[in-house]
């Protein structure tokens, strides 16, 4: 077994994964995908998923981001078994509350000769950097180590940065997603492990925490891959085994040309909630960003994902963020909801005019529009005419392919006949369909003409569900009133 291979006992532990975001802004799709993959792995193995908050960069911290992280995970059902809020055997899970722990480990490194107080001022370091630049060589801090100083390096009193004394060597290691990787000694430098403000760096404290929290698999974004040799060096210095490392490729914009930016969908995940996306669709979408189960299957429930997810099928190349696909998946998931479920989810998405509508009516309407909803925020556009008389817009008649060719007078006549016939009809969907069919023959019109003008007159909306069902839900009183109104309105245009 090579030096960096994981001892086989690790594979027999129940899987313990973690999500370790920094509260430096909202969590976006890329980060949440990392959380989801980590969570799926732990769930599959009846293991533990940990939520640890890496708040050691106090300058970059953004107020409110911790809550946003928790709300995002909760919305998606990514629940943690140990971590912030709920505690656990390795508490605390907020890194800023673990400073003494990091200090202890830092002292261990000092005592074993593997860490030292930085003797240089910022100005001196800048000078080293400039010199390296002039000589066109990369600046490596280790070339200016205090070993080369004539005087003794300072004793670390916490006011200077503490640096790791690296042992720059070549590495070969196996990444569970990327496969065999290797680097030369130049990838390793004497990096800072504790800053002069007393907070540890990510490079140092995540290693201590992952070890203490017995994390078996570290899944993280590609941006950390270049730092991995440093981590391996530190693991060795601390004499601890490293967990299984799995690097998730970047999530790119749809054209695959750049890392996902705000415009391409890299927004606060909770924005999607506000826009009427279902968590089921979002989970399905995120899980299939760079993973598939080897078949053509596109729709996965959470339980299927837990059953089928495996790191071996995570692709090495960057995933492309296709917002249209998310929209499609959302429509698919909306269709899969029962009317009870859809009704629960619809909540605040109803138009204001629906506020006083009876629940029974709302359910009837949901049944009608369910197949057309791409997001829950389509509800007002698709349903408001059920609750409130719409404003007629004769341009809709004029711009209709068929109606636009007809004389206004003929259209009004058609509406008058429809009104008379519909007034005599009982307003159940089935008899309405018969009546509409008989109107087609008595007027000698095509559905694209007759049904379109009735549809427009009652809804003034470009889309409505099946006409007979729409009329049945609106009821005779409303339908006849709106038809009469359309007749009067059209007559003024003659």
| Contacts with ligand GLU, residue ranges (CB under 6 A) | 20-22, 54, 202, 206, 220
CA distances from 324 to 128, 379, 398 (A): 50, 19, 31
| CB of residue 175 to ligand GLU, shortest distance in Å | 14
CA atoms 375, 378, 379, 382: torsion sign = negative
Instruction: Please list the alpha-helical segments (H only) found in 293-428.
Output: 302-308, 323-335, 339-346, 359-369, 379-387, 394-398, 408-423
> How many other CB atoms are found less than 10 A from the CB of residue 490?
22
| CB of residue 57 to ligand GLU, shortest distance in Å | 9
Q: What angle do CA 165, 171, 173 make, to 5 degrees?
A: 125
| CB of residue 34 to ligand GLU, shortest distance in Å | 7
Picking from 469, 478, 278, the residue whose alpha carbon sits closest to that of residue 364 is: 469
Query: Which of residues 20 and 162 has its CB atom nearest to ligand GLU in the complex?
Result: 20
Pull the structure tokens for residue 323.
Answer: 């917002």
| CB of residue 121 to ligand GLU, shortest distance in Å | 29
Picking from 286, 260, 178, the residue whose alpha carbon sits closest to that of residue 226 is: 178
| CB of residue 27 to ligand GLU, shortest distance in Å | 9
Query: Which of residues 291 and 386 has its CB atom nearest to ligand GLU in the complex?
Result: 291
CA distances from 173 to 11, 170, 189, 219, 466 (A): 17, 10, 18, 15, 61
Query: Which of residues 54 and 189 has its CB atom nearest to ligand GLU in the complex?
Result: 54
Sequence-ordered strand ranges (E) for 254-340: 319-320
Q: How far is the C-alpha of 439 from the C-alpha of 450, rounded, in Å?
A: 8
Query: Which of residues 286 and 326 has its CB atom nearest to ligand GLU in the complex?
Result: 286
| CB of residue 453 to ligand GLU, shortest distance in Å | 58
Query: Which of residues 22 and 435 has its CB atom nearest to ligand GLU in the complex?
Result: 22
| CB of residue 205 to ligand GLU, shortest distance in Å | 10
Query: Which of residues 202 and 489 has its CB atom nearest to ligand GLU in the complex?
Result: 202
Q: What angle do CA 36, 40, 42 make, to 5 degrees?
A: 120
């Amino acid at each position: 077994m090579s030096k960096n291979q994981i001892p086989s006992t690790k594979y027999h532990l129940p899987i313990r994964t973690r999500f370790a975001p920094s509260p430096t802004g909202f969590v976006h799709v890329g980060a949440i995908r990392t959380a989801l993959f980590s969570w799926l792995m732990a769930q599959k193995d009846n293991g533990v998923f940990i939520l640890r908050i890496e708040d050691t960069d106090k300058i970059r911290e953004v107020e409110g981001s911790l809550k946003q992280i928790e709300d995002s995970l909760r919305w998606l059902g990514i629940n943690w078994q140990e971590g912030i809020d709920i505690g656990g055997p390795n508490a605390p899970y907020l890194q800023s509350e673990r400073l003494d722990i990091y200090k202890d480990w830092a002292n261990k490194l000092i005592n074993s000769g593997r860490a030292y107080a930085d003797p240089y001022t910022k100005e001196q370091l800048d000078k080293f950097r400039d010199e390296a630049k002039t000589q066109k060589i990369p600046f490596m801090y280790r070339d200016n180590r205090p070993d080369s100083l004539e005087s003794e390096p300072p004793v670390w009193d916490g006011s200077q940065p503490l640096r790791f004394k690296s042992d720059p060597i070549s590495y070969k290691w196996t990444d569970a997603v990327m496969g065999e990787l290797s680097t030369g000694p130049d990838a390793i430098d004497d990096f800072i492990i504790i800053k002069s403000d007393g907070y540890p760096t990510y490079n140092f404290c995540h290693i201590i925490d992952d070890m203490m929290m017995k994390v078996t698999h570290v899944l993280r974004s590609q941006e950390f891959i270049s730092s991995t040799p440093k981590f391996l060096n530190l693991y060795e210095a601390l004499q601890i085994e490293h967990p299984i490392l799995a690097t998730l490729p970047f999530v790119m914009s749809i054209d695959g040309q750049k890392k996902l930016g705000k415009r391409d969908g890299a927004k606060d995940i909770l924005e999607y909630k506000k826009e009427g996306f279902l968590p089921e669709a979002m989970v399905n979408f995120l899980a299939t960003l760079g993973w598939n189960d080897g078949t053509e299957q596109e729709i996965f429930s959470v339980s299927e994902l837990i059953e089928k997810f495996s790191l071996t099928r995570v692709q090495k190349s960057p995933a492309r963020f296709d917002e249209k696909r998310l929209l499609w998946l959302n429509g698919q998931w909306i269709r899969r909801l029962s009317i009870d479920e859809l009704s629960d989810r619809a909540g605040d998405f109803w138009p204001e005019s629906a506020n006083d509508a009876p629940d029974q009516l709302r359910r009837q309407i949901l049944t009608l529009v369910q197949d057309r909803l791409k997001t829950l925020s389509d509800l007002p556009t698709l349903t408001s005419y059920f609750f409130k008389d719409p404003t007629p817009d004769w341009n809709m008649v004029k711009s209709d392919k068929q109606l636009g060719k007809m004389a206004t007078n003929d259209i009004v006549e058609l509406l008058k006949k429809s009104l008379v016939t519909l007034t005599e009809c009982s307003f159940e969907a089935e008899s309405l369909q018969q009546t509409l069919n008989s109107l087609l023959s008595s007027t000698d019109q095509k559905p694209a003409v007759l049904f379109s003008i009735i549809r427009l007159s009652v809804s003034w909306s470009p889309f409505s569900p099946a006409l007979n069902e729409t009329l049945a839900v609106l009821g005779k009183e409303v339908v006849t009133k709106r038809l009469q109104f359309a007749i009067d309105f059209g007559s003024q245009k003659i």
